[in-house]
Amino acid sequence: MTYQENYQKWLAVTNLPDYLREELVAMDEKTKEDAFYTNLEFGTAGMRGYIGAGTNRINIYVVRQATEGLAKLIESKGEEAKKRGVAIAYDSRHFSPEFAQDAASVLAQHGIKAYVFESLRPTPELSFAVRHLNAFAGIMITASHNPAPFNGYKVYGEDGGQMPPADADALTDFIRAIEDPFAIAVADFDAAKAEGLVEILGEAVDAEYLKEVKEVNINPELISQYGKDMKIVYTPLHGTGEMLTRRALAQAGFESVEVVEAQAMPDPNFSTVKSPNPESQAAFALAEDLGRQVEADVLVATDPDADRLGVEIRQADGSYRNLSGNQIGAILAKYILEAHKQAGSLPTNAALAKSIVSTELVTKIAESYGATMFNVLTGFKFIAEKIQEFEEKHNHTYMFGFEESFGYLIKPFVRDKDAIQAVLLVAEIAAYYRSQGLTLADGIDQIYQEYGYFAEKTISIELSGVDGAAQIKAIMAKFREQAPSQFNQTAITLFEDFAKQTATNQEGQVTELSTPPSDVLKYTLADDSWFAVRPSGTEPKIKFYIATVGESLTEAEQKIAAIEQEINEFVN
């Protein structure tokens, strides 16, 4: 069906809500094409897109279609799966409560129990709730750290992790088999509540989550001595983090916490920031202002659904240093392993997990403590799968998992990124260095001195619409088929094609990769530098990851600049 035919099909719907009809009528031809040329697809973490009318937008009909597909999947698993039901949470974005209620109503129409939070809650709490309630699945309405015009829909499996590929593929098949999203039957929400098919969740689940969070901190005595009056500034960036993070910090014993009140209230427009992304230093502007006023040791920010954490640390001159996702991963990994070693509680089969595009610095740290590092594909569900494997086989003890995109998980009572857990441990680490008369900035420098100067950079290029999708495919094809034999005058010693599941060394010998197929290309150079390229699974972007090692940070960063320039020349 052409985009014009799809558009006309929507325009012909008689009971279309007024706000969607008005948007359809106002569309110019380019907008029509982008809104209707394809369907919003499930990627590494569900689906995410612009809010609005169209098959390539997120709206009540797309949400209903996705949930109808999930209902069909659950029905295929039998009556027990239907009774176990689905936990549903949502963030502070436009239409998030409406999408959550619609999802519950579609499930109720199928006689499937839905547990819906009374108000916005973080993604990690949704993951916890799936496990706590023994639900069959979970739905999180969120667009993570994207700007205000976006929303999204993530599906979780019974282990609390994002739905793994096999089930996600089956779900996609069920969704695609639905010919008319406008004909999907929706139960009355209040009637479903009265029948017990919808149950509202609130403080009881919050309390259970916070009970588990108590176990995240490793050294309570350290917090009591050095963390109690340590000044911390926290901003939830208008999102769900405010629901639990302040309580979690107080519960752990951090009493001198200042919250950026202008960003504490939920706001779907994220009116104080250009983008509510804790990866960006711009999102810390108000936190830095408050930090300077109170002379805070550390600034922490969570994204709107509180699964990603950004950190800034106070330097000797009083300015704040923005940490990369890899640097945060390094200080967390180092502290977890060192603290357990000192306490005599480091298991002999300790294991960590990270994505293939995250820093090898953490691999070096893990190896220095006799721990094993597992590299997985991008998408936290693959880390969740590793945790499940460790628990079933009893072969390793999970210690920590992370992705360079500011996602961390310390304790596996959650099976997705958990910024609330990460906030607590970053605060403890700051107290640890404070006990030595040092700062977190000193801690980062110590890690570099011990393990080498690692530098990383992620470049995201947005290429939206039909033309953008074609450009992304062309760039991937060019790298796959015509990549040079060297970058920065350094030979490529290993080429990994994760779509073909092959690794080719400098001599042309080919071995098989053990990861599932994924459209990722990774090139390792003779000096242990590497770069990778992949299309985003949830956004119209292509991403380049560059990582280098040097005798100094300056040298490592110079290597990054040279490789980045050569990538730009190759692409253009």
Within 8 A by CB and 6+ apart from 203, the residues are none
Tokens 């969570």, residue located? 302
- Does the pLDDT value for residue 45 go beyond 70? no
- pLDDT over 90 (residue 398): yes
Strand ranges for 360-507 from DSSP E:
372-376, 397-403, 407-409, 453-462, 486-487, 490-497, 502-505
| Structure confidence by residue, pLDDT tens digits, 70-81 | 999 999 999 999
Question: Mean pLDDT across the chain, nearest whole number?
Answer: 95
- Report pLDDT for 539: 74
- Cα 260 to Cα 110: distance, rounded to the nearest angstrom: 44
Gap between the Cα atoms of 27 and 53, Å rounded: 10
For this structure, is 144 an active site residue?
Answer: yes
User: Given this model, what pLDDT does residue 349 score?
Assistant: 98
Is residue 571 exposed (0-12), middle (13-18) or buried (19+ Cβ within 10 Å)?
A: middle
Q: Choose between 42 and 252: higher pLDDT.
A: 252
Asked whether the predicted pLDDT for residue 90 surpasses 90, the reply is: yes
* CB within 8 Å of 276: residues ≥ 6 apart: 145, 147, 237, 238, 239, 270, 283, 303, 304
Strand-pair partners of 350: 397
Q: What is the pLDDT of residues 440-471, one digit of tens each?
A: 999 999 999 999 999 999 998 988 877 888 89
Q: Which helix (H) or strand (E) holds 90?
A: strand 86-90
pLDDT tens string 333-384: 999 999 999 999 999 999 999 999 999 999 999 999 999 999 999 989 999 9
Q: How far apart are CA 31 and CA 63, in angstroms?
A: 21
Asked if pLDDT for residue 42 goes beyond 90, the answer is: no
Share of the chain above pLDDT 90, in %: 90
pLDDT over 70, % of the chain: 99
The edge-to-edge listing of strands for the beta sheet with 86-90 is 47-50, 150-156, 137-141, 86-90, 114-117, 198-201
Q: What domains, with CATH codes, occur in the chain?
A: 38-205 (3.40.120.10), 214-451 (3.40.120.10), 453-571 (3.30.310.50)
**Can you tell me the distance from the alpha carbon of 145 to that of 419, in angstroms, rounded to the nearest whole number?**
12
Report the pLDDT value the prediction gives residue 133, as an integer from 0 to 100: 98
pLDDT at 540: 81
pLDDT recorded at residue 44: 58
Which region among 153-157, 268-272, 280-284, 460-464 has the lowest average model confidence (pLDDT)? 460-464
Annotated active-site residue in 144, 358, 405, 529: 144
DSSP state string for 277-339: -TTSGGGGHHHHHHHHHHT-SEEEEE-TTS-BEEEEEE-TTS-EEEPPHHHHHHHHHHHHHHH
- What is the distance between the alpha carbons of residues 287 and 513, in angstroms, rounded to a whole number? 44
- Calculate mean pLDDT across residues 85-98: 98
Q: Tell me: the pLDDT tens digits for 287-306? A: 999 999 999 999 999 999 99
CA of residue 188 relative to chain centroid, distance? 33
pTM: 0.95
Q: CA angle at residue 519 from 517 to 520, to 5 degrees?
A: 105
Q: How far apart are the first and last CA of the chain?
A: 33
User: Each residue of 251-266: pLDDT tens digit?
Assistant: 999 999 999 999 999 9
CA 505 – CA 260 distance, rounded (Å): 51
pLDDT tens, position by position, 538-564: 678 899 999 999 999 999 999 999 999
| Alpha carbon distance 99, 368 (integer Å) | 47
Dihedral sign of CA atoms 156, 160, 161, 164 in order:
negative
- The helix-helix angle for 419-435 and 203-213 (nearest 10°) equals 40
List the one residue out of 40, 48, 105 whose CA is nearest residue 71: 105
Residue whose C-alpha is closest to residue 428's, from 343, 503, 361, 540: 343
215: confidence class by pLDDT, cuts 50, 70, 90 = very high
DSSP assignment letter at 224: I
474 close to 463: Cβ distance less than 8 angstroms: no
- As a whole number of angstroms, the distance between CA 114 and CA 87 comes to 6
Per-residue pLDDT, 464: 80
pLDDT at 46 over 90: no
pLDDT of 322: 96
Instruction: Render pLDDT for 143-189 as a digit per residue (tens, 0 to 9).
Output: 999 999 999 999 999 999 998 778 888 898 999 899 999 999 999 99
Residue pLDDT, tens place only, 500-520: 999 999 999 999 999 989 999
pLDDT of residue 571: 86
Write the pLDDT tens digit of every residue in 119-152: 999 999 999 999 999 999 999 999 999 999 999 9
Task: For residue 158, count CB atoms less than 10 angstroms from its CB and return exposed for 0-12, middle for 13-18, buried for 19 or more.
Answer: middle
Beta bridge partners of 533: 521, 544
